[in-house]
C-alpha cells in the first residue's frame, strides 16, 4: 500500500482495491493501522475514503531507522567482552 501511495498524491480505497491483490476489508484493516501509526492520512469527501502518504513522517522514520543500523548490525553476532 505504501508503495502504491508513493506514486500518487492521493488514492481512493477503490483505487487501492483495484490495484492490489487483496480484498476491500483487508485494505480497510491495514489502512486503519497505517492511519493510527501516523504514516498515512485519510479524508472522507462524501462516501469515498481518500488516502495519502505523510511523506515527511516517512522521511523522518527512515532517517531514525538509519541511525539504528550500526547498533542493529551487531545483533547478528554474539557480544565480545
Report residue 39 as a C-alpha cell. 504514516
pLDDT digits (tens, 9 = 90+) for 19-73: 999 999 999 999 999 999 999 999 999 999 999 999 999 999 988 888 877 666 6
- End-to-end C-alpha distance for the chain, whole angstroms: 44
Angstrom CA distances, 2 to 35, 55, 73, 78, stand at 11, 10, 26, 35
What per-residue confidence (pLDDT) applies to 12?
Answer: 95
Prediction pTM value: 0.78
Q: Is the pLDDT of residue 81 over 60?
A: no
Work out the burial of residue 54: count CB atoms within 10 Å of its CB; fewer than 13 is exposed, 13-18 middle, 19 or more buried: middle
CATH of domain 2-73: 1.10.10.10
Amino acid at each position: 500500500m505504501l508503495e502504491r501511495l508513493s506514486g500518487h498524491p492521493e488514492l481512493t480505497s477503490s483505487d487501492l482495491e483495484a490495484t492490489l491483490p487483496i480484498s476491500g476489508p483487508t485494505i480497510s484493516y491495514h489502512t486503519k493501522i497505517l492511519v493510527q501509526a501516523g504514516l498515512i492520512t485519510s479524508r472522507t469527501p462524501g462516501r469515498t475514503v481518500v488516502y495519502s502518504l505523510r511523506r515527511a513522517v516517512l522521511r523522518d522514520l527512515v532517517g531514525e531507522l538509519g541511525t539504528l543500523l550500526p547498533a542493529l548490525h551487531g545483533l547478528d553476532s554474539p557480544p565480545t567482552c
